[in-house]
Amino acid sequence: MTEYLGCYEGAPWMFSVSIMEFVNEKVAREPIYVMEGFAPADGRAAWRAEQPADPPPPPPS
């Protein structure tokens, strides 16, 4: 599983997750899910950090 942050042709930054399935040490499938960022649900407030772990991404180019 890998996480990405990407921007294409000046569009807003998008978050994505790739989940690789291996068969015989080769990638058999790699679905990639892309989504906009969102605030955590109120029920997750106990795990929410005061400050983001990462700096904000640069503006789209």
pLDDT at residue number 9? 83
pLDDT score of 32: 93
Q: How is the chain split into domains, by residue range?
A: 2-39
* Three-class secondary structure assignment of the chain: CEEEEECCCCCCCEEEEECCEEECCEEEECCEEEECCCCCCHHHHHHCCCCCCCCCCCCCC
pLDDT at position 61 is: 67
Q: What is the pTM of this model?
A: 0.57
Q: Along the 61 residues of the chain, how does pLDDT read in single tens digits? A: 888 888 888 788 889 999 999 999 999 999 999 998 777 788 887 887 777 777 877 777 6
